[in-house]
Amino acid sequence: MSYDLSIIMSTFKQKLGPINPELTQRFIQEIKTQKSELVEVDGVTIRTCKDVFPPRSDFSRSSEHLHQIFGDLKGAEVLDMGTGTGIQAIQAAKAGARHVTGLDINPAAVICAQENVGTNQLSDRIVIRHSDLFSALGDNEKFDLIIANLPITDFPIEGIVESAVYDPGYRLHQKFLADAKAHLKSGGGIVMTHIDFKGDGDFEEFERMVTSYGYNISDFIEIEDIGYHWRMYRIVAK
C-alpha cells in the first residue's frame, strides 16, 4: 500500500504538532531496508534484521534505557511484549530473570529474536512466540514484570512494520492496558515508554490513559534526545 506524502505531512502537522513526518517515515523505510549487522547495546550483542525495529537508532532511545527501571528481577517471570530483536528479553535474563517470554506480532521479529537469544546462549531461559498482544498466552500464564515495547505515537498508518512506530487512536495501548492485569502476578508491574511527540500535555494524556485502566504510575526515568522527551515508566495495578 502506498501513501501520499503531502497528505501524511499535512495530517501530521494538524494532529501531532511538532513531530517531523519526514523523520518517522524515513525511519520506517530504514527498518524495511536495514542490513543485518551486529551491534552492542549496554554489553549485549544483537543482530539487526530487515523489517524489525532496531535496538539502536534515534527512535530507540527509550528502549536503550528501559532496563534501568526493571527493578530486581532475580528469579522473576518476565514477559517482553513486542520483543523485536529480543534485546529487552535478553537484558531481563541477564538481570536475573528466571524465565522470559518474548512476544511479537511481526514474524520477522520472532525469527530475529530467536536468533539473538541463541547467539547470547539464553535459549534455556527465553522463549519467543508469535502473538497478537496476549493471544499466544494461556489464561494461567502470569508474570512478575511485563515489558511493553508498544508503538511510540498515535498516527493513522497501519502495517506490520509500521506498527512498531504508529498506534492509530492508541487502540493497541488501550487493549494492552485492558488485558495486562490478567497476566500480572500479585504485586507485579509493567514498564513501558512514552514520548512527547505531540508536545505539551502529551505525557499528561498518556498518564490519564494509564490511570483510567486501573493502574498507578510508581516511577519514571526521563531523558531528552533529538528534540523530544522520552519517559520510561513503571506502573502497577491499583
176-219 pLDDT per residue, tens? 999 999 999 999 999 998 888 777 788 899 999 999 999 999 98
Q: Which one, of 93, 109, 223, lies nearest residue 101 by Cα?
A: 93
The predicted model scores a pTM of 0.85
Pairing of strands 38-41, 44-47: antiparallel
Domain extent for 224? 5-237
Q: Which one, of 138, 35, 147, lies nearest residue 95 by Cα?
A: 147
Q: Is 201 helix (H, G, I), strand (E, B) or coil?
A: coil
The residues, ordered by sequence, that sit 6+ positions from 95 with a Cβ below 8 Å of its Cβ are: 67, 70, 73
Q: Which one, of 232, 135, 219, 150, lies nearest residue 182 by Cα?
A: 135
Per-residue model confidence (pLDDT) at position 169: 86
Instruction: Look up the CATH number of the domain holding residue 112.
Output: 3.40.50.150
- State the cell numbers at 147: 515489558
The number of folded domains in the chain is 1
Per-residue model confidence (pLDDT) at position 18: 44
- The mean-pLDDT minimum among 64-73, 177-186, 224-233 falls in 64-73
What SS3 string covers 102-135? EEECCHHHHHHHHHHHHHCCCCCCEEEEECCCCC
If you ran DSSP here, which 8-state letter would residue 162 be given?
G
Check whether 52 has a pLDDT greater than 50: yes
